[in-house]
Amino acid sequence: MPEINCVQIAGNLTKDPTLRKTANGIPVANFCIASNRKYRDTNNQWSEDVCYVGVVAWSRLAESCMEKLHKGNAVLVEGELQSRTLHNEDGYSRTIVEIKAHRIQFLNKMDIGYEAEGFDADRLNAPDFKETTVVVEVKEE
């Protein structure tokens, strides 16, 4: 069986990202997005379903998220699913499934002067510039 683990989801941040650093000083950002889906129910009425998904970003991608993302911002996240188990003092454990982001596209209108890896800031001065997204991607080495 092929080993495929690819996720692509768009949504809005439910609250501001949090940042921590590992023992080695590597930045890690965590946030949650809400992804909405509209559908017709059995009575042919429009309904909405919300899926809440945790996202973790590492290194420069984490730092970019902390600088530019806030509650309510729209993002497109590409990455892979990963799971981890948390243990509490009572002896109970729970498993969390989240997206390990490889690429995050900021979908809200950007601030003038924002520069990110792979983003050509000189295009801002072009008269036909209409892009409102910024892509930040970190390649693992």
Give, in words, the CATH class of 7-38+46-137: mainly beta
The whole-number average pLDDT for the span 34-45 is 93
pTM, 2 dp: 0.73
The whole-number average pLDDT for the span 15-32 is 96
Q: Smallest Cα–Cα separation from 110: which of 62, 69, 59, 60?
A: 69
Q: Is 102 left (phi over 0), alpha (psi -120 to 50) or beta?
A: alpha
Instruction: Tell which wins on pLDDT, 130 or 41.
Output: 41
**Strand ranges, E, within the chain:** 7-13, 18-21, 27-40, 46-58, 74-87, 93-106, 134-137
What are the Cα distances from residue 95, in Å, to 45, 71, 82, 88?
A: 35, 25, 10, 12
pLDDT band for position 140 (cuts 50, 70, 90): low
Percent residues over pLDDT 70 in the chain:
77
pLDDT band for position 139 (cuts 50, 70, 90): low
